[in-house]
């Protein structure tokens, strides 16, 4: 799995599109966590690459870190089940800056940070994008 993280509007989606050839006829499923919950791996058919965008928004809907660790594992197993498959997670870093006053906002921010740590540990590659520039972390 591959995790791409960075601040808002730093070029993450554009970089993933270019790197994975989105739009060139490839079998890519792009799931948008801002719009709807992610499909489960069993519901994705015929894809070689699955991009799960908006991870921080998806975590807001389900702020259970253990549940996300299970989902990350499910996707890792899906990727490993067939040669040539790739799972790409895109998440905006919301863990820096001023700590929110609202208790629920702090809980969400903490859940995002913990989920990102667990996901990064599972991924074979982690990249951070800032100002459109990529920095490989793992």
Q: How many domains does the chain have?
A: 1
Q: Across residues 62-89, what is the average pLDDT?
A: 96
The residue range of the domain holding 25 is 2-136
What CATH number does residue 12 fall under?
Answer: 3.40.50.300
Instruction: Tell me if 3 sits within 8 A of 120, measured CB to CB.
Output: yes
Instruction: Tell me if 2 sits within 8 A of 88, measured CB to CB.
Output: yes
Residue 23 has pLDDT above 90, yes or no: no
Please state whether the predicted TM-score (pTM) of the whole model is above 0.95: no
Residue 25 has pLDDT above 70, yes or no: no
Instruction: Tell me if 6 sits within 8 A of 89, measured CB to CB.
Output: no
Please give the share of the chain, as a percent, with pLDDT higher than 70. Answer: 97
């Amino acid at each position: 799995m591959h995790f791409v993280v960075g601040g808002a509007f730093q070029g993450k989606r554009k970089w993933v599109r270019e790197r994975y050839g989105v739009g060139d006829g490839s079998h890519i499923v792009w799931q948008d966590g801002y719009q709807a919950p992610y499909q489960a791996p069993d519901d994705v058919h015929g894809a070689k690459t699955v991009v799960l965008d908006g991870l921080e928004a998806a975590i807001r809907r389900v702020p259970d870190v253990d549940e996300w660790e299970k989902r990350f594992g499910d996707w890792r197993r899906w990727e490993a089940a067939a040669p040539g498959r790739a799972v790409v997670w895109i998440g905006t870093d919301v863990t820096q800056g001023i700590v929110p006053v609202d208790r629920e906002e702090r809980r969400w921010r903490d859940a995002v940070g913990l989920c990102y740590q667990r996901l990064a540990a599972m991924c074979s590659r982690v990249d951070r994008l800032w100002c459109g520039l990529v920095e490989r972390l793992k």
